[in-house]
Structure 1
Amino acid sequence: MLIAQVTDIHLGFEPDSPGEFNRQRLDRVLGELAAMQPRPDLLLATGDLIDRGDKASYERLREAFSGLPFPVHYALGNHDERATFREVFPEITFDGGFLQYVVEAGPLRLIVLDTLEEGRHGGAFCEARADWLRARLDEAPEARTLIVQHHPPVEVGIPWMNTDPAEPWVERLAACLRGRSNIIGIVCGHIHRAISTAWEGTIVATCPSTAPQVALDLRPIDPDCPDERNLIIADPPGYALHWFNGRELVTHWDTAEDHQVLARYDANLQGMIQHMLAERPGA
């Protein structure tokens, strides 16, 4: 099974500009995913779908995702606005006022969480959402389950983008997942970088953004002393591919750009490929 992920699209960063930079970057990624072989079984769009919560940007988002050859499942981030999203996507069902739902995807069960608290940059996960998640997990305690959300529940080392592990929502989420051996991973966005780490017995993987990326700078930051460090950089638009091989979830990250090719599978390299494959059991 192949799951594609895009995140932190930020349409509308340039208001009223249908040809904006972030839309061009998104279109490059979606074009690459749609033409990919094997084709993804589904696409996760994990929040910060637009930049300012406005209806026109959500309408452009809907247009951008229309006609894709696979279903799209949305999560909300801190730049999103629930009421406006619901207005433009009325077919998507909210549960308890939150965009949280289950996707039964063949060998995997996906649980999409809502970590948005409007007006707050960081994540949130209240007791009502925790009760909902526990109920969904208890429904299928043996099902291989992937958690999908915008905010990572881990400290990533980039000070101005970090999640503080002492934030109450982090422990609330951890308590829901602790001791459950069927959770195969948590995929997130928010950081605008490709990052992975272990947390609460599972892997957390964040997807690079289709919008510009966050600069990698692990130095402490002083909110009272601007130091001219790089914050946002125009690296190529990124995406993730999560491949489930029946045992593990394997995450690949890539960028939508013209890669410089140094070798191709031609007659000159056929012998090498044959030798490598012949080494494997059952060859």
Structure 2
Amino acid sequence: MLIAQITDIHLGFDPDNPAEFNRKRLDQVLRLLTGMNPMPDLLLATGDLVDRGDAESYRRLQNALSICPFPVWPCLGNHDLRETFTQNFPEIPTVDGFVQYEVDAGKLRFLVIDTLEEGRHGGAFCETRARWLRARLAEQQDRDTIIVMHHPPVDVGIEWMATDPDEPWVARFAETIAGHAQVKAIICGHLHRPISVAWRGTTIAICPATAPQVALDLAPIDPDRPDNRPMIIADPPAFALHKWDGRALVTHFDTADEHVMLAKFDDKMQPLVKTLIGERPGHEAAEEDAPIRRVC
């Protein structure tokens, strides 16, 4: 199974502009994903779908996503607003007022979590949300499960964007998933950077944004002393591809910019490919005696 992920779209950052920068970046990623071979089985859109929570931006998001021939499953980030989102995406399930739901994808089960606390930049996970997740995990303890949420429950070292591991919501989330070995990964957004980290017996995969990225700077920051460090950078629009191989989730990060090709699979590269495939169990060794070009 191939799972595509986009995040932190921030449509409407430049309001009233039909050709806004963030829409162009989103369209660039979606064109690439819909032209892939093999094509993703589904797309996760992990929050900050729009920038100001307004209805027009959600309508423009629906328009952009309408080209997708595969299902699109969103969750909410700190720039979203629940009421406006649910009015524009009534097909997305809610429970107890939160956008939380299950996706049965055959080989995998996805549990989409709402970590939005309106008016707060950081995450939230109250007892009501925890009760729902606890019940879903208890229902199918032998079913491979991926949790999808906007806010990573872990500090990745970028201080101005960091999650404090001592925040109460992190402890509640950690307690809720503790002991559930069926949780194979947690897929997040929010940080506008490609990051993976082992956490509490599972793996967190954090997707870079379709909107501009956050600069990689692990130096301490003093909120009282601006130091002119870069914060947001114009790196290309990006996405993640998660490949489920039946045992583990393998995550790839890429950008939608053009990649300059330095080698291609032609007659010159065929001996290398046959040799590499032939070294694997169950495959015959390559027959060509031609010299092999070393490219890695």
TM-score band w.r.t. shorter chain: over 0.9
Give the corresponding residue for 1:269. Answer: 269
Aligned counterpart, 2:4: 4
Q: Which secondary structure state, in structure 2, belongs to the residue aligned with residue 147 of structure 1?
A: strand
| 1:172 alignment partner in structure 2 | 172
- Measured after TM superposition, the shift of residue 87 of structure 1 is 1.3
Amino acid at match of 1:142: D
State which drifts further: 205-214 or 177-186: 177-186
Check the 8 A contact 1:18/1:60 in 2, yes or no.
Answer: no
CA distance in 1, matches of 2:266, 2:77: 45
1:213-252 matches, within 5 Å, as 213-252=213-252
Aligned length: 283
Superimposed CA distance per residue, residues 19-42 of structure 1 (whole angstroms, 9 cap, x where no aligned partner): 100000000000000000000000
Deviations 1:152-195 (A, max 9, x none): 00001000000000000001000011111111000000000000
In the alignment, the residues of structure 2 paired with residue 130 and residue 84 of structure 1 have an alpha-carbon distance, to the nearest angstrom, of 23
- Write the distance in 1 (CA, Å) between the matches of 2:272 and 2:90: 53
Opposite residue 221 of structure 2, the aligned amino acid is: I
Shift of 1:265: 0.4
Give the superposition deviation at 1:209. Answer: 0.1
SS in structure 1 at match of 2:132: helix
The CA deviation at 1:93 is 2.0
Whole-angstrom CA distance in 2 between matches of 1:74 and 1:261: 33
Kindly provide the amino acid, as one letter, of the partner of residue 31 in structure 1: R
Paired with 1:67 and 1:236, the residues of 2 have a C-alpha distance of 21
Query: Following TM superposition, where does structure 1 have runs of at least 4 consecutive aligned residues deviating by more than 2 angstroms?
Result: none
Verify: 1:23 aligned to 2:23, yes or no.
yes
Measure the CA separation in 2 of the matches of 1:222 and 1:2. 42
Instruction: Report the counterpart of residue 194 of structure 1 in structure 2.
Output: 194
Offset at residue 221 of structure 1 (A): 0.7
Describe how 1:76-87 pairs up with structure 2 within 5 A.
76-87=76-87
- Residue in 2 that maps onto 1:205: 205
> How far off its partner does 1:106 sit?
1.2
The CA deviation at 1:91 is: 2.0
Q: Which amino acid aligns with 1:207?
A: C
The structural deviation recorded for 1:18 is: 1.7
Question: Per the alignment, in what secondary structure is the counterpart of residue 219 of structure 1?
Answer: coil
Aligned to 1:268, the other structure's residue is in SS state: coil
| Aligned-pair CA distance for 1:67 | 2.8
Deviation string 1:64-120 (CA, Å, 9 cap, x unpaired) is 001311000000000000000111112222111000000010110000000000000
* Equivalence for 1:75: 75
Identity of aligned residues (%): 63
Distance in 2, Cα, partners of 1:226 & 1:183: 41
Q: In structure 2, give the amino acid aligned to 1:267.
A: D
User: Structure 1 length as normaliser, TM-score?
Assistant: 0.99
Q: Which runs of 5+ in 1 are unaligned?
A: none
> Matched residue of 2:251: which SS?
strand
Residue 184 of structure 1 aligns to a residue whose secondary structure is strand
One-letter identity of the residue aligned with 1:147: I
Max Rg structure: 2
Give me the whole-angstrom Cα distance separating, in 1, the residues matched to 2:230 and 2:93: 39
- Given residue 119 of structure 1, which amino acid in structure 2 is its aligned partner? G
Q: Does 1:108 align with 2:108?
A: yes
- The CA distance in 2 between the partners of 1:81 and 1:48, in whole Å, is 9
Tell me the distance in 1 between the aligned counterparts of 2:195 and 2:65.
25
| TM-score, normalising length: structure 2 | 0.95
Measure the CA separation in 1 of the matches of 2:67 and 2:160: 37
- Distance in 2, Cα, partners of 1:197 & 1:45: 20
- Describe how 1:43-82 pairs up with structure 2 within 5 A: 43-82=43-82
Distance 1:235 1:99 in 2: 31
Q: Report the secondary structure of 2:97's partner residue.
A: coil
Q: Which runs of 5+ in 2 are unaligned?
A: 284-296
Corresponding residue number in structure 2 for 1:135? 135
Does 2:152 match 1:152? yes
Which position in structure 2 is the counterpart of 1:125? 125
